[in-house]
Each structure stands twice: as C-alpha cells, then as structure tokens.
Structure 1
C-alpha cells in the first residue's frame, strides 16, 4: 500500500512537471493544484485556445499512452471541450518507438506457455505497426496460416492503472472545489474513460468484440472480419488472420487496380450503419488504417479494441435527433434532449431554442448530398458545450464514429452522403416501433417494472412518512422553465383522461354486448348497429392512443 502511494506520488510529480514545463502553471494555480509562485505571467495566461490546444497536445504525448488515449477521446467530446482545443487534440499521435524483439519473445512464450518455435514457422522481428499500447508482427503458424500477432507492451497495465488512480483523485479534488467539474460530473467521465481503456487493454475482450461483429455479417460475403486464433491468444497477445489488402485511404492504388470506389463507399457506409442501427454494437474507431480492401471490392474491418454500444432507446433517440434536425423541428429536438434527461433546471431553454434555430436556418431543406452530418453534430456539440449539456457517452462515441466515417467516405466518393444513407435505416427504425412483437416486448417490460414499483410502494410510502415526521424534508421547486413543465403535465393529464374515457367506453360496450346476448337481439340506434359502430370507435380510439404513446418514444 505504501509502495503504491509512493509510486503514485512520484508519477504525480512527473505529470505536474510536464504541465509546468509546457506553460500550464497559470491553469494549475487556478485549479488550486500549485502555489502562486508557479503562476505564469499575464502574457502566458492570455494565450488563445489554439495555443492552449497545441501545448496540451504536446504535454499529453510526453505523458504517454494513458494521456494520449484520454486526449483522443476528449477530441470527440465537443460538448465538453472547446472546439479549438478539440481540433488540436485530434492530431495526437499514437505511434511510438517499438520495444525490442527479445521482450516480444519473452511475452509470447510466457503467455502461450511454450517456445516461439513450437507455435510459429516464421516470425518477423520488425513490427508492421507500433502504438502506445502494443505492436503488431507478421508471422506464420506451424499449420501454415499467415497471421498478425499483436503483443502488448511490457508493464503497460501497471503504468495505466497508476495514471488512472491519479486521474480519479484529481477528478474528486476538482469536483469538491470547482463548480464546473461538478456540473460536468468529472468523476463519471474519468470512470467512463477508465472503463474504456481497461477494455482496450484486454485482448481477449477485443477478440470477442471482433467475433460478435463478424456474426453480424455471416450472410454478407463482401464484409469480412479477420479470423481470431483463440488458441494463440491471451489477454496480452492476440493472433488473427493477416490481411494484406489495400488501405481504404490509398485511392491511387485503388484506382490503379480498378476498384469501384463508389461501390466501396456504399458498402462501408451500409455495413457501419447496419452495425449501429440494426445491431446496436459497432466498430468504435473506423479510421482509414482499420479498413482494408481486397479483390472483389471486399471490405475488411480490423482492430476492435474500441467498440460502441447503443440500447434500443438510445438508438431511437439518435434517429429522432436526425429526423428533427432534417425537418428543422426545434421543439422536437428539445423534447428529445429532455427525453434523454440531459437538460436540468439551470438550462436556459429560450436561449437554447434561439441557438438551435441558427442550425435550423443553416441546414433546413439543404440537399442531402450537401449535408455533412459530422458538421451538424459538431455544431450541436458546440451548443451543448455552451449550455453545459453533457451528452450521453454512447452518442458522443457514435458522433465521432460518424465524423471519422465521413472523412473516409469523402475520399472514396466525394458525392456520397451519409445522411442520405441513414434515412432508410431511420424510417425502418421508426416503423419498427409499431411492430406488434416490439410493442408486446416493451409492454411486458413496462408491466414487470410497474409491478415492482407497486410492490415496493407501501414500503416507500412508510419511509417517506417517517422522514416527514422527523422534519427532514427539503422542498426545492424551480419554475424557471414552468412553460415546458406545465406543457408536459398537460400532455400527461390529457393522455390519462383519454385512457379513462376509452376504458369507460369499453366497459359500456361490454355491457351492450352482454345485454344483447341476453335479449337475443342486436341493439340499434337510428338504424345503426350499436355494437359494431361502438367496436369501430373503440378501435380507432385505441389506435390513436397507441400511436401517440409510440410517437413520444416512451412506451
């Protein structure tokens, strides 16, 4: 325990020195981390955000893999990081000097419990690629297959855990002392980052991720995922099929060998959107280095260390956001934000509405071919940053994926529109809300959830009464945005009243049916059969109620 604290203290001092050396003394003083004697001159403190971004990028690169990964993730969070800094962080380099082959051999032999010669006919000592977490070598198995062997850097996990512990302590300190850190729930952000980085360090999890995506395309031969050799893979060694195709960014070679770039763009977009919209599990880093093209215009995706996952509800919210932006429906956009529970009592809804109107005027009725979804996302994220609206991590990952994907597709086919490609999936997703199986599944989940709430209600009421009797209840009602609150209450009251009327009408119809059965004749009113007409009216009322609930996205 003492040894770990001493190691953390030593690393903390090292981190502090790097930031001081790169001109962040004024920032560290403002955060309460250093004394005034370290504070910068006014000239240093007045640097603009572009200069700050550049200095921050250099500092993060000097601090190693944990901080490089943190910066790369932060570059996609325009709702949390100013655009000028985010743009600079996008340039963070993840290429570092390779570690010696003697260490590669030692790690492989320890992990696979045998000598290299037992497993491989050939093994290239020079790596194909080297990054901050690991490096990849070309090899040939004893059975003859060409493979790519990814080996994790020695002691990287220990170094990452030390850095993460320091980041968690820093986040706790800032949340206690800085209002902005509490507003952005900085500890939660560091937790999400830590979880993501630890997953990336687990090569067995990466293998499962790639196999899961591969199952999505078992009937799609033009989309391939490298085969994983589980018997030659562990948490720190990953052996997969070697892909020797052309990088998707190498358009000159693609043209020279006669590949159809328009078809490639369509296949890449369709496969990624299928992962997102239909399966809710997708490649989290589809940059050009992770996409290869082979003969027959076949697409290979590699490197599944980073993946994204969307729940059905979050997918629906994403589609709703897209449709609201496309139609210029600002009220619907704010409703979706509210449904996602990312607005609070401090959000200035009127000002938010005005800023969203600027985006509406810019993109409303724009040609789909001219509409860049990544640009729209960046503007929405900038507004979110301005109003301290923290978007869900899943949406942040997805937006970065789309931004990266648009860059890849624009080089293959400049006329390709990802917004246009999304529309069929969006419409399909909307129609799925009316699928009887989907309705039954969600209704059952709601029924179980409500049953649990009702079962716990007496206990909760008892606890609440005891709390009130002790005088420990603080009532704090903020009506700053009372119009929206009352509008929502009004919708709930109207729907509840409508449901009661429908129930009463249904009971009346049951009475008429029973009465007619006993009397042995059909009830008539102005020569119209009451039961048939009533059944039609009840059906229409029920359909309208169901439609209004489904459209709200809250089943």
Structure 2
C-alpha cells in the first residue's frame, strides 16, 4: 500500500518543520491511491554525484555533517527514522539543501525504547554487563531464559576492544560488523527496528566518509547520544515516571483485594488449582520406570528359579529322559533361563542408548 509510504513522508516533514537543511516533497493525496503515490517533482543532483566531484571542500563537509545530523535526529530524538538512507534516496538542492525521496522503509523506536536504549549505551560505556543485559532484555533483544554465560564473555571481549579508545580511532563499520557477527554467532533475538538502526548508522558513516575523508561519525553522534542519556533524568521525564509509577500502584491497590478474596474463596471451596509444569524430568522418570520394570522381572526370575529347584526335588509326574528330574521341574528351569537371558539382553541394550 503506497499510502503508507505517503504517510511516512508527512510524518517526516512534520518532524523537520522549520529546518532549512531538509526538504520533503509534497504528497498529492487527491491523486494518490494504494497503487499510485503522486509526489511533488523536484530537481536536484543525487548525493552520489558529490562523492567524486570537484566541489569545494566546505560544501562536501557541510553535506556530510548535515546528512549525519538528519539521520541522527531521526533516530535519537524522533524515534522515526529512514532505514535505508543510501545516496540514491537523497538529492542535493540549491543551497546544499538535502531532499529526501524514499519513505518506504522506516524504523520506529517509541519513547520507552529510546529510554531503554540510553540505558544500553550507558551500561556499555561503563562495561556493566549485568545492567547491559537487563536493558537488552527490556528492549526485547535477549530472551529471558537464554544461557548467557558465553554471550556475556563475548560482549565483554567486544567492549574491551573499543573501550578507552578515542572516538576518531574507532572503526565504525568494523564495530557494526562485530556486533552483527556476535548477534548471529550466539543466535540473539533482535528486533528488526534495531537492525534498521544498525543499517542506517552504517550507511550515514559510509556516506560521510565518501564526502569527507576526515568525517568522524562517532564524534558527530556524541551530542545526540549524550542528550538521549540525559533525557532520562530531565524533570519532565522524572515527573512522567513518577506519574506512571503512581498509577501502577493505585491500580495494584484497587485490584489486589478482589484477587486475594477470589483466591481465598477458591481455596475454601476446594476449587483452587495450581498448574505445575516440570522441565527436564522426562528422562529421570523414564529411567526410573525402566529400572522398576527390571526389578520386577528380577523378582519374577528369582521366584521361578526357587520354584524350579523345589519342583526338581519333588516326585511329581514323569521324569526327563535319562534323568531323575521331574519334567515339570525341567520346564520351569527352561522358562527361568529364557527369562534371565532376556533381562540381561535388555540391560545391555539400554546401556548402549
């Protein structure tokens, strides 16, 4: 549905209203539909033409800085960002104004996700693995039940590689590749919005470096990241957190008596049910059942042997040929022998499994 792309363009335009560095083509809704999106015609030069152009250095530096600012604002301030800001989606207009053209692929980070992302960044900067993993779980990046011992070691090794380095010495593309490799190697579940985020950061770093070989994306992103971290402790955010916490407490206080009374009623009437789901007990229970079966067979075998011995000395019926042992005693010994052989065979077979 191309109307979705048009709505993305309208949101993007509203987020950058009043910013002279950005231009977003107008959407003509009266001529648009699910299959057709009619946009304002814009004349400009693709950003890629400036990668090898003879434009003056200041123009190229301005384009690199403005392009990075636009994407970083989308991510860390708006939480609504173009996931694929490659140079083919950007035109340069007169006055070095950047015109964004493609609005099909966008990532979204709501207010809560941005605040938790700030916790991830802060914990990573301090190499606090436990806080980092807790924040990652809150973002839905890590499953709660995962075995994280090896993953913690891998994350700590990654942080050690880059911790303490000046921002200019950090190879951003390599850092992003290391993160993706770690995620894939340890099969970490990650939201698609964060994959979009990594893709967007990698793209603007590549664009900036092609425009300005001295472009330092991390140094450029530092003010945006610092603002995101400090936003957690702003008076407005603290007031919002306090209000939300108070609402949760009030709701808990209102609902708890009814829930407790319901539990007491079910207990008194004998209708209280507790569901128990065991994990990992299937093998021990199965082993116990097999051992019990073998014990029973062993007792039966012992009884057969004793009975056979008693019958062998009894004077009952005809004897076996060329023997003074009663035939019934011989048959009993044969049955006991076959049973013993089967028990030994079953024990040896179960040990091989």
Cα gap change, 1:258 to 1:410, in 2 (>3 Å): closer
Matching of residue 474 in structure 1 with residue 281 in structure 2: no
Counterpart Cα distance in 2 of 1:310 and 1:402: 15
Counterpart Cα distance in 1 of 2:222 and 2:144: 34
Counterpart Cα distance in 1 of 2:144 and 2:31: 54
Cα gap change, 1:322 to 1:374, in 2 (>3 Å): farther
Counterpart Cα distance in 2 of 1:395 and 1:409: 21
User: 3-state SS of the aligned residue for 1:249?
Assistant: helix
Q: What residue number does 1:179 align with?
A: none
Cα gap change, 1:472 to 1:314, in 2 (>3 Å): same
Q: What residue number does 1:230 align with?
A: 29
User: 3-state SS of the aligned residue for 1:213?
Assistant: helix
Residues 370 and 417 in structure 1, CA contact (< 8 A), matched pair in contact too: no
Describe how 1:307-322 pairs up with structure 2 within 5 A: 307-322=106-121
Counterpart Cα distance in 1 of 2:144 and 2:236: 37
User: 3-state SS of the aligned residue for 1:303?
Assistant: coil
User: 3-state SS of the aligned residue for 1:389?
Assistant: coil
Describe how 1:106-121 pairs up with structure 2 within 5 A: none
C-alpha offsets along residues 103-139 of structure 1, whole Å, 9 cap, x if unaligned?
A: xxxxxxxxxxxxxxxxxxxxxxxxxxxxxxxxxxxxx
Q: Which of the pair has more CA radius of gyration?
A: 2
Counterpart Cα distance in 2 of 1:263 and 1:445: 42
User: 3-state SS of the aligned residue for 1:250?
Assistant: helix
Q: What residue number does 2:76 align with?
A: 277
TM-score by length of 1: 0.46
Residues 282 and 308 in structure 1, CA contact (< 8 A), matched pair in contact too: yes
C-alpha offsets along residues 277-328 of structure 1, whole Å, 9 cap, x if unaligned?
A: 1111122221111111122111111111121111122112323333443444
Residues 137 and 144 in structure 2, CA contact (< 8 A), matched pair in contact too: no
Q: CA deviation at 1:363?
A: 1.1
Match for 1:355 among 154, 163, 167?
154
Counterpart Cα distance in 1 of 2:178 and 2:50: 30
Q: What residue number does 1:412 align with?
A: 211
Residues 5 and 103 in structure 2, CA contact (< 8 A), matched pair in contact too: yes
Matching of residue 382 in structure 1 with residue 181 in structure 2: yes
C-alpha offsets along residues 170-196 of structure 1, whole Å, 9 cap, x if unaligned?
A: xxxxxxxxxxxxxxxxxxxxxxxxxxx
User: 3-state SS of the aligned residue for 2:39?
Assistant: strand
Describe how 1:215-226 pairs up with structure 2 within 5 A: 215-226=14-25
Cα gap change, 1:417 to 1:256, in 2 (>3 Å): closer
Cα gap change, 1:416 to 1:321, in 2 (>3 Å): farther
Q: CA deviation at 1:268?
A: 0.7
C-alpha offsets along residues 218-257 of structure 1, whole Å, 9 cap, x if unaligned?
A: 2211111111122221222111122221211223564358
Cα gap change, 1:439 to 1:326, in 2 (>3 Å): closer
Cα gap change, 1:349 to 1:243, in 2 (>3 Å): same
Residues 318 and 395 in structure 1, CA contact (< 8 A), matched pair in contact too: no
Where relative contact order (Cα < 8 A, 6+ residues apart) is larger, the structure is 2
CA RMSD of aligned residues (A): 2.8
Number of aligned residues? 277
- In structure 2, stretches of 5+ residues that fail to align are 281-353
Cα gap change, 1:331 to 1:369, in 2 (>3 Å): same
Residues 309 and 394 in structure 1, CA contact (< 8 A), matched pair in contact too: yes
Counterpart Cα distance in 1 of 2:56 and 2:40: 23
Cα gap change, 1:221 to 1:475, in 2 (>3 Å): same
Match for 2:201 among 372, 393, 402?
402
